Amino acid sequence: MKQIQEYEKDIASIRNMMERSSKFISLSGLSGVMAGIYALAGAFTAYFTLHYPISPMHFRQYSLQSPEAFTKLILIASVVLVASIATGLWLSARKAQKHGEKLWNSTSKSLVFNMAVPLVSGGIFILVILYTGHFGLAAPACLIFYGLALIQASINTVDEVRYLGFSEIILGLISASLPGYGLIFWTIGFGVLHIIYGGIMYNKYDK
């Protein structure tokens, strides 16, 4: 008869197989770090484009009301988004290949769908508040809806993504109570927090 240790190994193996089938474990922590670095670069670019030499601690809502400023911000945000997604896909594909898995499977499809609902609705909401002139709510809305998307995605991936989501929501709510400091909170949420949580995930799952 099998020893107790062998049964425990079998149970652990079955549990691991079930987790791998329901969780997207190919998500690379390094992609979070890189996304944070891209966000920091984008935030600094936005600051020197719109605020400099005025301190970012000063209220600068009026600077966002010109079409030229909006165009620059959209361009900067688009570059950061595309670079983050491209890097994330590349690193996750490399990790999946290393473990002999497919990047695009039923679990990753479910993850994308769960994230898409709050992200798309949040994006439309942000466009509406910008169109109606509520510029001070744009950054908080970005953080809050992104946090909701991460919490939804955490159903199909590691727990650290859920904690990052809650952190983004809390930061967004604080930002909403302090209008005029959106760039600072955006930098912390998309830059600093991504680097911190990405580093934690890399050390825990990628090494």
Q: Which residues contact 112 (CB under 8 A, 6 or more apart)?
A: none
| Statement: residue 191 has pLDDT above 50 | yes
Average pLDDT for 199-203: 89
| Statement: residue 3 has pLDDT above 70 | no
Kindly report, residue by residue over 157-190, the tens digit of the pLDDT.
888 889 999 999 999 999 999 877 888 899 999 9
Kindly report, residue by residue over 10-32, the tens digit of the pLDDT.
444 444 444 444 454 567 788 88
Element (H, E) at 115: helix 106-131
Q: In whole angstroms, how far apart are CA 193 and each of 84, 89, 103, 116, 135?
A: 14, 20, 25, 21, 23
- What is the DSSP code (8-state) at residue 207? -
Kindly report, residue by residue over 116-129, the tens digit of the pLDDT.
999 999 999 988 98
Average pLDDT for 146-151: 93
pLDDT of residue 22: 43
- Closest by alpha carbon to 28, among 105, 85, 69, 109? 85
| Domain ranges across the chain | 28-206
pLDDT of residue 67: 62
Answer whether 28's CB lies under 8 Å from 160's CB. Answer: no
DSSP code string of 27-94: --HHHHHHHHHHHHHHHHHHIIIIITTS-TTS--GGGGSSHHHHHHHHHHHHHHHHHHHHHHHHHHHH
| % of residues, the chain, pLDDT over 90 | 32
Residue 99 burial (C-beta neighbours within 10 Å; 0-12, 13-18, 19+): exposed
Distance CA(138)–CA(46), nearest Å, equals 15
pLDDT of residue 194: 95
Please report the sign of the dihedral spanned by the C-alpha atoms of residue 152, residue 154, residue 159, residue 161.
negative
Average pLDDT of the chain is 80
pLDDT of residue 188: 94
Kindly report, residue by residue over 85-124, the tens digit of the pLDDT.
899 888 888 877 776 777 777 777 888 888 899 999 999 9
Amino acid in the structure at residue 97? Q
Whether pTM exceeds 0.85: no
Distance CA(64)–CA(178), nearest Å, equals 17
Distance CA(96)–CA(93), nearest Å, equals 5
pLDDT of residue 150: 92
Amino acid in the structure at residue 157? T
Average pLDDT for 43-72: 69
| Statement: residue 55 has pLDDT above 60 | yes
